[in-house]
Amino acid sequence: MSSTQPILEVRNLEKTFKQSTGILDLAKERLGLGDNPPIRAVDGVDLRLEQNQAQAVIGESGCGKTTLLKTLMGLYSPTGGDVVFDGTNRDEFSKADWKEFRRRVPIIFQDPFNSINPTFTVRDALLEPLGIHDMKGDDPEGKAIDALEKARLTPAETYLDRRESELSGGEKQRVSIARALILDPDVLLADEPTSMIDVSTQASLLNLLDDLVEELGLSMLYVSHDLSTVSYVCDRINVMYLGRVIESGTTDAVLDNPKHPYTQALIQAIPVPDPFSDREPTDLRGTPSDPINLPGGCRFKDRCPERMDVCDRTPRSTETEDDAEHTVACHLYYDHEGATGADGHATVRAGNGMHGGDDR
């Protein structure tokens, strides 16, 4: 483990949504009637983002990655767990701390077409964060030009007066990136930044993000459903399924040696641009279960080809044998701790305070 402190750490983060806040449902709750199971969008997620590191959070739609991101951003308040930024727990943030956090952890969204206020010029969009943080200084326009250059939109001056409708999708994303960079941030949160960009421009955006991490010493949390692009930017991959991180490791480890059956299926399903490839189509059937009425235990059990009885218990994250940095939350990998068999009667208890091991 690294000795320096991670810039952003997430411990057992939970974000639960109640299904409805109508008056009738409130009454039902008060009276003890009515069964309104909450939606556990994020259900015990751990992450450690080091300085100068880019990590990916991969998952299909509904896995909770967007909720995770919005909670990290501060748009949602967590219902459980901790977020620790630069050593300080967010629960202990003062107003000033929050302002600092917001300056140092900006976000880029996936939809370029609504990422800039249509009544704004590029200049307006770039100066906005400076204005909110009172950081305009003597030369706000200079800062804007600087940010545009970092985002490789040159000649920067020609872009300042343009409006959203005069920019292409790729250009709009770069403006979003420039806007995020203008406050000299530490961590960039990116929500599928290239999923709505044409492939021919995607590559340059990915290269840009990768270079930003290297040259500016940024950290990045890159959320996506597309495994094939993350390897160009990220050092580590975390795979999410229905609110939990089920596998985590370096990019190479996860892509070359996926352990969790879901990760394996996911990688297996990626089409290969080669007519001679002999890729077998996935065997996986069905779709992720409804997040509202989740059964206890492993959430993948209804689709898992390797399901065992013991999977009715929630698996905890364990390190894999060959690589301490590669963790997976799957009962298949508990062997070395003794006793899981096909009969599944062995109990697997988590004794070290980490989540899991109980029926939920």
Partner 1 sequence: MTTDEPLLEVEGLDVEYELTNDVIHAVSDASFTIQENRYLGLVGESGCGKSTIAQSLISALDSNGEIASGTIRFRGEEIQDLTEAEFKNEYLWNEIAFIPQSAMNSLDPLMKVSEQATKIAKEHTDWSKEEALDRFRELFGVVGLPESRIDDYPHQFSGGMKQRTIIALALFLKPSLIIADEPTTALDVIMQDQILNYLQEIRRDRDLSMLMITHDISVVFENCDDMAVMHGGQVAETGSVVDIYTQPRHPYTILLQRAFPDVRFRDRKLETIEGEPPVLHEDMDFCSFADRCPWATPECRQGSPPLEPVPEGAETPRGGGETAADGTRVDDGVVTHRTSCIRQEEMADLADAHLDEIEAKRTLTE
Partner 2 sequence: MHLGSTIKYITQLLGKLDRRSPSIRSNEQLRVFFSDSLTVFGVVSLLLLVSLAIFGPMLAPYSYDEAQYQDDELVRFQPPSTEYLLGTTQTGNDVFSRLIYGARPTAVIGFSTAAIVIAIALAVGLTAGYLGGRVDESLMRLVDLLYGVPLIPAAIMFITFYGMGFWSIILFMGIILWRGSSRVFRSEVMQLKQRPYVQVARSFGGSRPYIVGRHIIPNMMGMIVLFFALSVGLAVLISAGLAFLGLMNPFIPSWGIMLQNAYNSGRMLEVWWWTFPPGIMISWLVLSTYLVGRGYERIQEGKERGVQL
The residue within the footprint of partner 1, chosen from 228, 295, 341, 354 (CB under 8 A), is 228
Partner touching 176 among partner 1, partner 2, none, CB below 5 to 8 Å by kind: partner 2
- Of 66-74, 215-223, 251-259, 304-312, the window that binds partner 1 (rule: CB under 8 A) is 251-259
Q: Which is nearer to partner 1, 12 or 231 (CB)?
A: 231
The residue within the footprint of partner 1, chosen from 6, 78, 112, 170 (CB under 8 A), is 170
- Distance in angstroms (rounded) separating the CA atoms of residues 203 and 234: 14
- Distance in angstroms (rounded) separating the CA atoms of residues 67 and 244: 12
Give the helix ranges, DSSP H, for the chain. Answer: 23-30, 65-73, 95-104, 122-132, 140-150, 156-160, 169-181, 199-216, 227-230, 251-256, 261-268
The residue within the footprint of partner 2, chosen from 93, 109, 232, 334 (CB under 8 A), is 109
Please provide residue 253's backbone torsions phi and psi, each rounded to the nearest 5 degrees: -60, -45
- Of 33-41, 108-116, 141-149, 281-289, the window that binds partner 1 (rule: CB under 8 A) is 281-289
Q: Which is nearer to partner 1, 75 or 272 (CB)?
A: 272
Q: Which is nearer to partner 2, 118 or 338 (CB)?
A: 118
- Distance in angstroms (rounded) separating the CA atoms of residues 180 and 333: 40
Place of tokens 């009276």: 31
Q: Is 226 in the site for partner 1 (CB under 8 A)?
A: yes
Q: How many residues bind partner 2 (CB under 8 A)?
A: 33
Task: Give least dist CB 120 to partner 2, A.
Answer: 8
Query: Going by C-beta distance under 8 Å and a sequence separation of 6 or more, which residues neighbour residue 35?
Result: none
- Of 7-15, 19-27, 88-96, 196-204, the window that binds partner 1 (rule: CB under 8 A) is 196-204
Q: Is 54 in the site for partner 1 (CB under 8 A)?
A: no
Query: Going by C-beta distance under 8 Å and a sequence separation of 6 or more, which residues neighbour residue 195?
Result: 110, 224, 225, 226
The residue within the footprint of partner 2, chosen from 3, 94, 165, 277 (CB under 8 A), is 165
- Is the previous residue joined to 315 through a cis bond, with omega within 30 degrees of 0? no
Please give the single-letter amino acid code of residue 352.
N
Q: Is 231 in the site for partner 1 (CB under 8 A)?
A: yes
Q: Is 225 in the site for partner 1 (CB under 8 A)?
A: yes
Interior/surface letters 257-273, b for 16+ CB within 10 angstroms, e for the rest: bbbbbbbbbbbeeeeee
Contact 249, 48 (CB under 8 A): no
CA 340 to chain centre: 32
Task: Give least dist CB 107 to partner 2, A.
Answer: 5
Q: Which is nearer to partner 1, 69 or 348 (CB)?
A: 69
Please provide residue 350's backbone torsions phi and psi, each rounded to the nearest 5 degrees: -90, 115
Partner touching 250 among partner 2, partner 1, none, CB below 5 to 8 Å by kind: none
Partner touching 354 among partner 1, partner 2, none, CB below 5 to 8 Å by kind: none
- Distance in angstroms (rounded) separating the CA atoms of residues 167 and 159: 9
Partner touching 269 among partner 1, partner 2, none, CB below 5 to 8 Å by kind: partner 1
Footprint of partner 1 (CB under 8 A): 60-61, 168-170, 198-204, 206-207, 225-229, 231-232, 251-252, 255, 265-279, 281-282, 284-285, 287
Footprint of partner 2 (CB under 8 A): 21-23, 73-75, 98-99, 102-103, 106-107, 109, 111, 114-121, 125, 128-129, 132-133, 163, 165-166, 176, 179, 183
